[in-house]
């Protein structure tokens, strides 16, 4: 697939590359979920979530500016790793910081938000379809996703993640285990007032 006007770069040249591109996030996600537990126990749930934000920003910049299929494929593995860490940190934080009577609802809301996010990602892919100036005679204006434009859009939620997580306290359980009961009590009192 030739990308862009006067493009000199070719990416995802085969259907195998395209399939690999789609599946590598899941492979990276398995690695990220495996290392996510020790990371959130060491650095805290909040700081792991905050740390995911600049990682996502850098990786989506990389994706938007990639020139080769190998750059894109490697970037997808790294995105998967960060997604895996986040998929451990977010539900753990929600479970530890939310009041008992709404904990189940907030856990379900997290899963709903993930599902809606996946749906929005597919919708963006559909909205940004293009022929990508392909030399393929079968290409139409609806053939390919303009992943560069979509990557720029992904920077918005990636940045918001880091900003908004700064506003919440660390998990009371993590604080009790690492900083003492007084620190945990302060956070619990703060959360109970809200």
| SS3 at position 130 | strand
Q: Which residue range is the domain that position 156 belongs to?
A: 15-101+147-193
**pTM confidence score:** 0.85
- Cβ burial of 49 (10 Å; 0-12, 13-18, 19+) is buried
128 within some domain = no
131 within some domain = no
| SS3 at position 180 | coil
| SS3 at position 139 | coil
Count of beta carbons in the 10 Å neighbourhood of residue 55: 18
Instruction: Read off the tokens for 45.
Output: 């749930």
Question: Which residues touch 59 (CB under 8 Å, ≥6 apart)?
Answer: 75, 78, 79, 82
* DSSP label at residue 170: P
Encode pLDDT of 126-172 as tens digits.
888 775 555 555 555 556 677 788 999 999 999 999 999 999 999 99
CB 73 within 8 A of CB 24: yes
Encode pLDDT of 29-76 as tens digits.
999 999 999 999 999 999 999 999 999 999 999 999 988 888 888 999
Count of beta carbons in the 10 Å neighbourhood of residue 119: 10
167 within some domain = yes
pLDDT score, position 8: 43
154 within some domain = yes
Residue 150 has, within 13 A of its CA and on its CB side, a CA count of 16
Quote the number of domains for the chain.
1
Q: Which of 99, 89, 97 minimizes the C-alpha distance to 187? A: 97
CATH number at 30 reads 1.20.1250.20
Instruction: Read off the tokens for 147.
Output: 């992943």
Question: Which residues touch 99 (CB under 8 Å, ≥6 apart)?
Answer: 191, 192
């Amino acid at each position: 697939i030739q990308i862009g006007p006067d493009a000199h770069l070719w990416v995802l040249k085969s259907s195998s590359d395209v399939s690999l591109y789609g599946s590598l996030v899941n492979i990276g996600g398995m690695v990220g979920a495996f290392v996510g537990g020790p990371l959130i126990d060491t650095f805290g749930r909040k700081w792991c979530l905050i740390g995911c934000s600049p990682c996502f920003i850098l990786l989506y910049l990389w994706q938007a500016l990639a020139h080769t299929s190998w750059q894109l494929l490697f970037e997808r593995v790294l995105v998967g790793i960060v997604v895996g860490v986040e998929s451990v940190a977010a539900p753990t934080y929600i479970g530890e910081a939310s009041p008992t009577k709404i904990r189940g609802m907030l856990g379900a809301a997290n899963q709903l938000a993930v599902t809606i996010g996946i749906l929005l990602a597919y919708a963006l892919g559909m909205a940004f379809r293009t022929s990508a100036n392909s030399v393929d005679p079968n290409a139409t204006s609806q053939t390919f996703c303009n992943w560069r434009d979509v990557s720029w859009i992904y920077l918005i939620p990636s940045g918001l993640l880091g900003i908004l997580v700064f506003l919440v306290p660390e998990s009371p359980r993590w604080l009790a285990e690492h900083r003492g009961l007084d620190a945990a009590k302060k956070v619990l009192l703060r959360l109970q007032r809200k």
